[in-house]
Amino acid sequence: MPSIPQPLVPDDDGGADASVAAALSAFAAGTADASVVASALSTARLLVPVVALLTEAEVGENGLKHEKESEMALPVLVGADGRKAVPAFTGVESLKLWRADARPIQAVTPQVCRAALGEGAAAVMVDVAGPVPFAVQGGMLHALASIGRVRAQDDGLGALLRELSEHAEVTVARVPERKRGLLTRLRRPWG
């Protein structure tokens, strides 16, 4: 019998990570750039939504149609330009703003970014319905996806910096130990 996986954060109350919320607020106010948000997201727990999709219905004796079979699916957003994005949320409240019937699955940001790239998505849309929507795309998406994927024989941060250097639009600087996260400066127009 398959086992039910344990939650990433067993005592998670569904609230947004305080450092991510602060970074997003500062970004929206124009007092911080995208690199501050990337740094806060680098180790943050996000909520990825899953929704039920009806796969088979039947008509009952009373003539009413009802669900016979359904599957859980990860929704994908499609922009006007046809690019796909995976939605992710900082907390339950922002998830409810988007879609109240979605069920949250805990994941850390690098996992979400790797999943998005694996699905061929061009972005992860954080809090798409607010309070502060933020697109993780391009070099930032690749940089956050590469966190935790360095090989054991590599020197950790050095391997990550080499990985990031493959993306021309990303400029990386070493972070002083007192700061949180791995990225301090990303140069890219975000829209």
What does the pLDDT look like over 3-22, one tens digit per residue? 444 556 667 888 999 999 99
What is the percentage of the chain residues whose pLDDT exceeds 90? 46
Which range is least confidently modeled, 32-36, 50-54, 55-59? 55-59
Domain ranges in the chain are 18-53+76-165
- pLDDT band for 110, please (50, 70, 90 cuts): very high
pLDDT over threshold 50, residue 182: no
Question: Which 3 state secondary structure label does DSSP give 144?
Answer: helix
Average pLDDT, the chain: 76
pLDDT band at 51 (very low <50, low <70, confident <90, very high): confident
Residue by residue, DSSP assigns 61-120 as: TTS-EEEEEEEEE---EE-TTS-EEEEEBSSHHHHHHH-TT-EEEEEEHHHHHHHHHHTT
pLDDT digits (tens, 9 = 90+) for 120-168: 999 999 999 999 999 999 999 999 999 876 444 444 444 444 554 454 4
Share above pLDDT 70 across residues of the chain, in percent, rounded to a whole number: 64
- Which pLDDT does position 133 carry in this prediction? 95
Q: Which of the two residues, 27 and 13, has the higher pLDDT score?
A: 27
